[in-house]
Amino acid sequence: MNYNRILLKLSGEVLSGDSKSVIDGNILKYFSKEIKSIFDLGVEIAIVIGGGNIYRGAENISSENEIDRTDGDYMGMLATVINSIALKNSFEANGIPTRVMSALDINKVVEPFVLKKALRHLNKGRVVIFCAGTGHPYFSTDTAAALRSIEIDADILLKGTKVDGVYDSDPEKNENAKKYDTLSYLDVLNDNLKVMDLSAITLCKENSMPINVFNFKNSGSLKKILVGEHKGTKIGEI
């Protein structure tokens, strides 16, 4: 195995799939299958998932709906809690022990995030899903993923997307788009590549946390990365 402990970051939109559902049951089953394939290898797994299938925080805020930025961000955090609970149920139905830990204080629903407890769960072979972002408005789930990956001392932050890496332009709109196999943190920042937000990339750069961007929709791609058979785009210190 190339990595013993990982943090996987996914957008909330992945849970809705191609259907009009907020959460697609078939996507939950697919997600569980992909996680089970690496769980059975003994990998310690942490996950951060967004809430964009339910509410996109700042992107849904406008004068028309009269929701301010702070409340909108908290609504987005609560959306990630819903997604995390859905994942937990799907995982456990497939024999994957899972804990959900929240940056917001909602103890009757999920556990509060406490680093030592999170590490204990990981050491005991439980998947840990971190929800509610950082617990503070104005910070994205990308930043939360970067922060949690550093806190738990993950070997890598894996960013699952709908394309097989980072391109110089949108490959769905430009058939001549160039895919990068490797990038430095500075390449991402200087070229304004839309991988993760500025805070997330900066956190990873300052703490030497490598990032691998890959297509989560390709079955088996997650496992292939961990055993060294699939590259995606690796971002780090070059």
Range 5-236 classified under CATH 3.20.20.70: no
pLDDT computed for residue 101 by the predictor: 98
Rounded to 10 deg, the angle between the 25-39 and 69-93 helix axes is: 70
Our CA dihedral for 217, 113, 200, 83, rounded to 10 degrees, sits at: 30
Helix (H) or strand (E) holding 32: helix 25-39
Going 186 to 211 to 23 to 102, the CA torsion angle's sign is negative
Task: Name the residue ranges covered by the structural domains of the chain.
Answer: 5-236
Q: Is 30 exposed, middle or buried (0-12, 13-18, 19+ CB in 10 A)?
A: middle
**Residues 197, 143 contacting (CB under 8 angstroms):** yes
Residue type present at position 186: L
For 21-47, the pLDDT digits (tens) are 899 999 999 999 999 999 999 999 999
Give CB contacts under 8 A, 24+ apart, made by 119-126. 119/152, 122/5, 122/44, 122/45, 122/46, 122/152, 123/44, 124/97, 125/42, 125/44, 125/97, 126/97, 126/98, 126/99
For 9-28, the pLDDT digits (tens) are 999 988 987 777 899 999 99
Alpha carbon distance 39, 32 (integer Å): 10
Distance of CA 69 to the CA centre of its chain: 22
Q: Which residues of the chain have pLDDT under 70?
A: 57-65
